[in-house]
Structure 1
Amino acid sequence: MEATGLESLPASELHDRAVRYAVRHGDLGFLWNLLKVIPAAEAASGNEEETTADLSRVSALLSDAIAAGEGELGEALRPVYLSYLREHPDA
């Protein structure tokens, strides 16, 4: 899908495409970056209690990364997914 069409997709679809592409291509850099930005996205989406928990538990971050395309968190992470998918137009 060309980059201009990505803007119209819901955050959950952006998440699924970006994570699926990263896993398929072994792009640990993207997945690691996603884990690093989730706490800030949690805070931006109003889940400050979750931010504290995420910072102290790596397992929570891994779980969040799998479901990070839903709701307010997915919307907060939209720019991350859009940027990644623009870099990889075949995703």
Structure 2
Amino acid sequence: MTNDPRFQALDGLPTEELRQRAFSTARHHGDIRFFVDLLRHLPAASDTERLDNSTGDIGLAVDDAVALWREFTGHGLGDAEPVLRASFIDYLLKHEAVEH
């Protein structure tokens, strides 16, 4: 895949531009699964796995999701950046025609 010119074009972009393009594409397709999968890659996501989906945990789950979203869109991706970057590129290769 590394010889694919589309991959090379995407890989040359900054992570923030990849994020913006992937988010735009996912919004266009109404692909909520993309966003859920990304949230699972964030460090704090492991904390939400302990929730048992009871109604008492809904408020906590919403708070955790908002915190994760703020962390994710705050562009401080830290150690998760390589995995998220790969997710953005993979998603764009599958769903967007690269125009460069």
Distance of aligned partners of 1:89 and 1:4 in 2 relative to their CA distance in 1, 3 Å threshold: farther
Identity %: 29
Q: Does 1:17 align with 2:24?
A: no
Distance of aligned partners of 1:88 and 1:8 in 2 relative to their CA distance in 1, 3 Å threshold: same
**More helix per residue:** 1
Pairwise CA RMSD of aligned residues? Answer: 2.6
CA shift, 1:38, in A, is 1.4
After superposition, residues 9-88 of structure 1 pair within 5 angstroms as 9-39=13-43, 51=44, 55-56=47-48, 57-68=64-75, 70=76, 72=78, 75-76=81-82, 77-88=84-95
Contiguous gaps of at least 5 residues in structure 2: 49-63
Contiguous gaps of at least 5 residues in structure 1: 40-50
Q: Which residue in 2 is equivalent to 1:46?
A: none
Structure 1 runs of 4+ with >4 Å offset = none
TM-score by length of 2: 0.61
Which of the two has higher C-alpha Rg? Answer: 2
TM-score by length of 1: 0.66
Q: How many residues align?
A: 78
